[in-house]
């Protein structure tokens, strides 16, 4: 039920060999980690890791944000994701969508399964082990994050991370009339400004997802090659 390679996965990868390292303590983390709570198979690894060059850019993004808004900082929701975890979350999301529709997986027709998987793959990358088409998070170059207040409260951004819904698109509230929705757009713009100033590229369908150096980044930045390929282990 997996789709074929996406357009961004046609970008060639020239692996630079940078190490995957745990994020420094200066970054706030979403704990307990939501996928680990569900039982995702991380083994002895940590989801709070990125390539060394990406970590440096994330530090630059947080510095950019705090120089302009000292009352805010970044909250890391998820970073490195082994392919096994990607597969686990694709399976879990499929089952969750089916359950929300009050249906049973074993009773679905082929067409119904395809329709549910189509929803899943709008937001979850294919859990591919092909070195030419790694999921973005499995490269150690992608991060899911949001904003956090000085008091340690996550900022309301107009939708939850990983939510399969139209309001997950980054500019969903761009033309909003309601003050609260205009604030959501303002905050999403703040987050995007900090991340893009540091060299990241935003996922076109996820306000929370940014990457630097992977295929998606190369595709949306007009770069000829990606610098980070898939990693087998941490």
CA–CA gap between residue 78 and residue 157 (Å, rounded):
17
Residue 73, beta-bridge partner list: 148
Was 96 annotated as part of a binding site? Answer: no
CA–CA gap between residue 196 and residue 177 (Å, rounded):
26
Was 185 annotated as part of a binding site? Answer: no
**Residues forming the active site:** 206
CA–CA gap between residue 215 and residue 224 (Å, rounded):
10
Do the strands 28-29 and 72-78 form a parallel or antiparallel pair, or are they unpaired?
Answer: parallel
Residues 164, 174, 89: CA angle, nearest 5 degrees: 15
Do the strands 209-211 and 201-202 form a parallel or antiparallel pair, or are they unpaired?
Answer: antiparallel
DSSP state of 13: B
Was 144 annotated as part of a binding site? Answer: yes
CA–CA gap between residue 85 and residue 79 (Å, rounded):
12
**What are 56's two structure tokens?**
């440096």
DSSP state of 8: G
Annotated binding-site ranges for Zn(2+): 137, 144, 209
Annotated binding-site ranges: 137, 144, 209
């Amino acid at each position: 039920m997996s789709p074929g390679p996406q357009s961004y996965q046609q970008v060639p990868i020239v692996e630079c060999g940078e190490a995957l390292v745990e994020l420094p303590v200066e970054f706030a983390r979403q704990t307990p980690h939501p996928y680990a709570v569900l039982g995702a198979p991380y083994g002895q690894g940590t989801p709070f890791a990125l390539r060394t060059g990406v970590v440096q850019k994330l530090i630059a993004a947080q510095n950019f944000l705090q120089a302009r808004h000292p009352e805010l900082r970044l909250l890391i929701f998820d970073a490195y994701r082994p392919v096994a975890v990607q597969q686990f979350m694709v399976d879990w999301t499929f089952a969750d969508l089916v359950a929300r529709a009050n249906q049973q997986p074993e009773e679905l027709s082929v067409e119904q399964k395809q329709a549910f998987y189509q929803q899943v793959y709008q937001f979850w990358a294919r859990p591919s082990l092909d070195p030419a088409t790694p999921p973005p998070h499995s490269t150690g170059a992608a991060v899911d994050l949001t904003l956090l207040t000085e008091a340690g409260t996550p900022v309301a951004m107009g939708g939850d991370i990983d939510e399969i819904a139209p309001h997950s698109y980054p500019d969903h509230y761009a033309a909003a009339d309601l003050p609260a929705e205009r604030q959501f757009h303002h905050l999403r713009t703040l987050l995007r400004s900090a991340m893009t100033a540091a060299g990241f590229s935003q996922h076109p369908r996820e306000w929370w997802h940014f990457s630097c150096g992977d295929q998606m980044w190369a595709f949306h930045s007009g770069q000829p090659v990606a610098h980070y390929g898939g990693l087998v282990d941490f």
